[in-house]
Amino acid sequence: MKEINIFIRKHVVLLSIMFLVFSASAACCSRSDSLRSNIPNEKPKQDDVNITNVMKQTIDDYIRKTREWNQADYQIRFVKSDGDIEIFSIVHNDDLVDSRKRGGGKSFELHVNKASMLAIKEYAYQ
């Protein structure tokens, strides 16, 4: 009888540990930012809180000069601030149509210096 109780206790402890590990990994993987893709599958919305009119104009001017895109052809999505740098995802509408194509398409990430209001870096999605 004593051996059965020890056997049951060991298995209860083992199952409890497995449950905790599984719960922790499931919680981690269910977070939306843990599996962030480069180009969102749904149409992104412009975050008006983080994009001032001056910043939007800077971005629009940069895209018009470097890509010659119309404003209706792309979406601006605020990603994050990194010190004096604002990081934006510029998503072309063509990239939202077919998410199965290879590569990053036309969309890219743009880094803008808040102080100088200049686009300082651009990264293509892969």
53-124 CATH: 3.30.200
What's the confidence (pLDDT) of residue 48?
46
pTM value?
Answer: 0.59
**Which of 5-14, 69-78, 79-88, 93-102 has the weakest average pLDDT?**
5-14
Compute CA distances 110 → 40, 70, 96, whole Å.
16, 17, 18
Residue bearing the bigger pLDDT, 113 or 47 = 113
pLDDT digits (tens, 9 = 90+) for 49-82: 467 889 999 999 999 999 999 999 999 999 999 9
Top-confidence residue, 125 or 76:
76
Share of the chain above pLDDT 90, in %: 45
**Domain ranges across the chain:** 1-36, 53-124
CA distance readout (Å), 71 to 12, 13, 28, 57, 121:
61, 60, 37, 11, 20
Taking residue 92's Cβ as centre, other Cβ atoms within 10 Å add up to 19
The distance from CA 20 to its chain's CA centroid, rounded to whole angstroms, is 28
